[in-house]
Structure 1
Amino acid sequence: MLAAYAVSQSSSDPLSGLVVGERPDPEARPGWTVVDLRAAALNHHDVWSLRGVGLAADRLPMVLGCDGAGVDADGNEVIVHAVVPSDGWRGDETLDPRRTLLSELHDGTLAEKVLVPAGNVVPKPESMSWETATCLSTAWLTAYRMLFTNSGVQPGGTVLVQGAGGGVATALIQLGSAAGYRMWATSRDEARGQRALEIGADRVFASGERLPDRVDAVMETVGAATWSHSVNSLRPGGTIVISGATSGDAPAKAELTKIFFKQLRVVGSTMGTREELAQLARLVEQRRIEPVVDSVMPLTDARDGFARMVDGDVFGKVVFTVG
């Protein structure tokens, strides 16, 4: 089968370890199912894997990818859930200390076929396009859990999204806007800020800009570069939900005094459950939300999609068509 996979890793030249070529077809085994993919999508996780973060070198070669949608062995149209719990785990799979994501221990979705546990698929709504469905597995699921499960904010509240443009940020803006939140965003780039307004943000501010009002929650994926601004932007009792730290995880100031004095909550958030993915799919269908797609290209051109992400030239999701 055709796949995009990692054969080596380099922190300075991640694309040097990427190969788009043939890999063996996965073989079904008890309790697992082979999904014939129709579309897959790219995440920063895939670039980090090529940089040597989160993917052990002794597991190479590894097919990359967490996002995928296709047809399972029984002919059902499904969306792949990328969080794989350890054997015997029960309950919220994101809390399993031995959980993995597809492409960390088991081959991922940037391929014509993927083997996943039978419980790691959810029905794709019949009216939903493959491009929309494949966007939901990772960035959109992360955004859903951040906003609806972990923020504690009710519709009508004000939510700040740090760093407009990435897959999680665009998902947060679109989901929050559709659900009745007042969505604010920050951006270093005026053009990206304008696009954030077009997809549902109520207001956009320059990175680090003082806000006209304090917000109920901040959605934080940037990390060190925006941490102090996030703390300072919250009303007393507000919440920071953090799911990533693309600029680093060691801010110059931890802001501990402000956190305890203002009684702020800091909530970590990682991916989401299979049930949350099913809920997300239904919400996207019911509200007729169309995820922002930066570009669509065949899997044969996956290197071009990776290059766009490495260069930081992406707004929304990069989607690969398969077959």
Structure 2
Amino acid sequence: MLAATITAADPADPLAGLRVGDHPEPAVPEGWSLVEVRAASLNYHDVLSLRGHGPRNAPFPRVLGSDVAGVDESGDEVLVHALVGDPAWTGDEVLDPRISMLSDFHDGGLAERIAVPSRNLVAKPAELSFEEAACLPTAWLTAYRMLFVLAGATEGTTVLMQGAGGGVATAVILLGRAAGVRVWVTGRSEEKRSRAVALGAAAAFEPGARLPERVDAVIETVGAATWAHSMKAVRPGGTIVVAGMTSGTNPPLDIERLYLANLRIVGTTMGSRHDLEGLVKMIVDHGLQPPIHEVIPLSETRAGFQAMVDGHLFGKVVARPE
């Protein structure tokens, strides 16, 4: 079958280890299901893997892609919760010490078919296309958990989203607006700032700009380049929720402001299956449509990743098996 795989990691040239070509059909262990992929969106997690930020003992080659929508063996339309953990774990999946994402130790969804634990299947609502549904399991789920579970955003609160054009950013804007949250964003280009406002952001600022007032929470996925601004932007008692580091790790931490302002810094990875079900319900209830930058054939996955590496995206890139 056709698949996009990682064959090696290269921090300087991430696409050097990307191969789009024939790959063995997936094995389907007991308790797992085979899904015919109808759409799979590209995610920055894939780029990090190609740069060498994946688990040290992750195998090569393996299929990339953690965002999948398709049809299961019973003919049901489904989307896939992308966290694979210990079947015996009974708590929140994100806290399972054995948890991993699809494409880390198990083949991901940038392929014609994928095998996943049957418990990871969530019904796809008829209101969403396969392409739209494939945007949800990673970026949109992360945004939902960051906003509502960890930041506690409610109607009337103000949230700053660092970055204006990626999958998490566009999800935060649309989910926040639907819940009555005032969402501010930062963006490096005037085009992305304008598109964010058109999408529903209350205001857009240049990176590092002085804000009209401090915010209740900051959604942080950029890392080193925006961290100092995030620390200054949040009000006393506010929260910074972290789920990424696209600009690099280990930014300086203003410990004095952290304790004097009683700030809360919370990390998260994705969200639980319960969170995904809540996200799907919210999208249907509010008639939301995930912004899609482009739909491409699976065979053109390299071009999609190149656009992601170059930063020329607003919304998600979705690949479809031909």
TM-score by length of 1: 0.97
* Residues 38, 130 of structure 2: 8 Å contact kept: yes
The answer for the alignment partner of 1:294 in structure 2 is 293
What is the aligned length? 322
Residues 1:41 and 2:41 are matched in the alignment:
yes
Q: Distance in 2 between matches of 1:77 and 1:57?
A: 33
- What's the CA shift for 1:7? 1.2
Q: Distance in 2 between matches of 1:228 and 1:95?
A: 28
SS in 1 for 2:159: strand
The answer for the alignment partner of 2:234 in structure 1 is 234
Q: Distance in 2 between matches of 1:79 and 1:154?
A: 27
SS in 2 for 1:38: strand
The answer for the alignment partner of 2:176 in structure 1 is 176
Q: Distance in 2 between matches of 1:208 and 1:299?
A: 37
The answer for the alignment partner of 1:310 in structure 2 is 309
Q: Residues 58, 172 of structure 1: CA spacing in aligned structure 2 closer, same or farther, 3 A cutoff?
A: closer
User: Can you list the C-alpha shifts for 1:180-204, whole angstroms capped at 9, x where unaligned?
Assistant: 1001001111111001001110000
SS in 2 for 1:194: helix
The answer for the alignment partner of 1:285 in structure 2 is 284
- What's the CA shift for 1:225? 1.3
- What's the CA shift for 1:55? 4.2
User: Can you list the C-alpha shifts for 1:204-241, whole angstroms capped at 9, x where unaligned?
Assistant: 01100000111111101111111111111111111111
- What's the CA shift for 1:87? 4.0
* Residues 25, 113 of structure 2: 8 Å contact kept: yes
The answer for the alignment partner of 2:167 in structure 1 is 167
1:296 partner letter: V
1:210 partner letter: R
Share of identical aligned residues, percent?
Answer: 53
SS in 2 for 1:59: coil
* Residues 154, 179 of structure 2: 8 Å contact kept: no
Q: Distance in 2 between matches of 1:138 and 1:98?
A: 18
SS in 2 for 1:300: helix
SS in 1 for 2:317: strand
Shifted more, 78-87 versus 35-44: the winner is 78-87
Q: Distance in 2 between matches of 1:263 and 1:78?
A: 42
The answer for the alignment partner of 1:113 in structure 2 is 113
TM-score by length of 2: 0.97
SS in 2 for 1:94: helix
Q: Distance in 1 between matches of 2:13 and 2:219?
A: 30
RMSD: 1.1
* Residues 292, 316 of structure 2: 8 Å contact kept: yes
* Residues 7, 62 of structure 1: 8 Å contact kept: yes
Shifted more, 104-113 versus 149-158: the winner is 149-158
SS in 2 for 1:165: coil
1:194 partner letter: S
Structure 2 unmatched runs, 5+: none
Q: Residues 191, 262 of structure 1: CA spacing in aligned structure 2 closer, same or farther, 3 A cutoff?
A: same
Structure 1 runs (4+) greater than 3 angstroms displaced: 55-58
* Residues 9, 57 of structure 1: 8 Å contact kept: no
Q: Distance in 2 between matches of 1:9 and 1:165?
A: 26
The answer for the alignment partner of 1:200 in structure 2 is 200
* Residues 215, 235 of structure 1: 8 Å contact kept: yes
Residues 1:262 and 2:258 are matched in the alignment:
no
SS in 1 for 2:142: helix
Structure 1 unmatched runs, 5+: none
2:164 partner letter: A
1:76 partner letter: D
The answer for the alignment partner of 2:75 in structure 1 is 75
